[in-house]
Amino acid sequence: MFGTDKFKVDFTTARLRVQSWNSGADGSSWSDIEVTGLRRLLTPAVLRHLPPSMHLTDFDSEIQGWVGERLDESNLLKVSFEQRLVGLVILAVETTKSRRPNVHIGYLLAEDTWGQGLASELIVGLVEALSPLAPVRLVGGVERGNSASARVLEKAGFACDAQVPMDGVDTYFLDIPETG
């Protein structure tokens, strides 16, 4: 499954539907739901804990490039709740010398969904969806000021590794062992 950096991950949880982004990067095939959802999702408050290279200053002129960059560097998943786009998951595979690849995860949820438990539901569902691909190590970087995201990862079984120093970012790991 990890022979290439691209793989398909589609799953549902009690309230969420998560699908691989298949609409391309140029915007010509994006649905109105996707455009409206991206506009509502990619706000300064949502993007503030991400690296500056992932911030948008002008949605209309930058969104196609933003999505294109995510598609070039990772697997991009769209998260739907009540039939509207409310989030994105970014999965970037890092091959290692061992059989177990690292999958770096990032997620964004629209502000109007915060505090409803959707982030925890999303990450638990993602762990379950990636479990058949074991052995794999999931890696999440959390800006130190983003305690809500740290709690989400911890509730899903991730542990913070203080031995991995990154400027202003804590690194969380979850090893999914091979079974059987």
pLDDT tens by residue, 100-157: 889 999 999 999 999 999 999 999 999 999 999 899 999 999 988 899 999 999 999 9
- In-domain check, residue 30: yes
- In-domain check, residue 67: yes
- In-domain check, residue 152: yes
Confidence (pTM):
0.89
Q: Percent of the chain having pLDDT more than 70? A: 93
Pairing status of strand 16-20 against strand 11-12? antiparallel
- In-domain check, residue 109: yes
Cβ atoms of 103 and 93 within 8 Å: the answer is yes
Burial class (CB in 10 A: 0-12, 13-18, 19+), 142: buried
In the chain, the number of structural domains is: 1
